[in-house]
């Protein structure tokens, strides 16, 4: 196991609702990245947080937002859920901020939007 934890494991929401997903980074890591993985595809980068600030963003709309806390844990918030938001959401922790270091993934949160 990587030491990265995520909650909840599974979640079912209705279109238009809002959701918050949580991630605790591995001990000693100060950077958290979030990825969305649709069924049958590779993960897609959403954004990264370092020192409590967004430090890079992929091609996702503003209704995807996040936070990082002083203990380096992080939240992913998605507003106005759409059916296409149904996916496995993965967080990864690493050290070094924007520098390319090895990333370690949590077990994921599987979100279903109906």
Partner 1 sequence: GIQVEQSPPDLILQEGANSTLRCNFSDSVNNLQWFHQNPWGQLINLFYIPSGTKQNGRLSATTVATERYSLLYISSSQTTDSGVYFCAEANNNAGNMLTFGGGTRLMVKP
Which residues are CB-contacts of 50 (< 8 A; sequence separation ≥ 6)? 30, 31, 68, 97, 98
Cβ-contact 30, 66 below 8 angstroms: no
Which residues are at the interface with partner 1 (CB under 8 A)? Answer: 2, 31, 33, 35, 37, 41-45, 47-48, 50, 55-58, 88, 90, 92, 94, 96-105, 107-108, 110
Query: Which CB sits closer to partner 1, 55 or 80?
Result: 55
Q: How far is the CB of 84 from partner 1 (least distance, A)?
A: 18
Query: Which CB sits closer to partner 1, 20 or 37?
Result: 37
Q: Residue 83, SS3?
A: helix
Q: Which helix (DSSP H) or strand (DSSP E) does residue 112 occupy?
A: strand 109-113
Query: Which CB sits closer to partner 1, 45 or 64?
Result: 45
């Amino acid at each position: 196991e990587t030491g990265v934890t995520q909650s909840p494991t599974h979640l079912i929401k209705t279109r238009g609702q809002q959701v918050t997903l949580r991630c605790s980074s591995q001990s000693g890591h100060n950077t958290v990245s979030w990825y969305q993985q649709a069924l049958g595809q590779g993960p897609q980068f959403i954004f990264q947080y370092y020192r409590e600030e967004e430090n890079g963003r992929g091609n996702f709309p503003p209704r995807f937002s996040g936070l990082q806390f002083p203990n380096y844990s992080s939240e992913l918030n998605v507003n106005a859920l759409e059916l296409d938001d149904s996916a496995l959401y993965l967080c990864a922790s690493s050290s070094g901020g924007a520098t390319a270091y090895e990333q370690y993934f949590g077990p994921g949160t599987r979100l279903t939007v109906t």
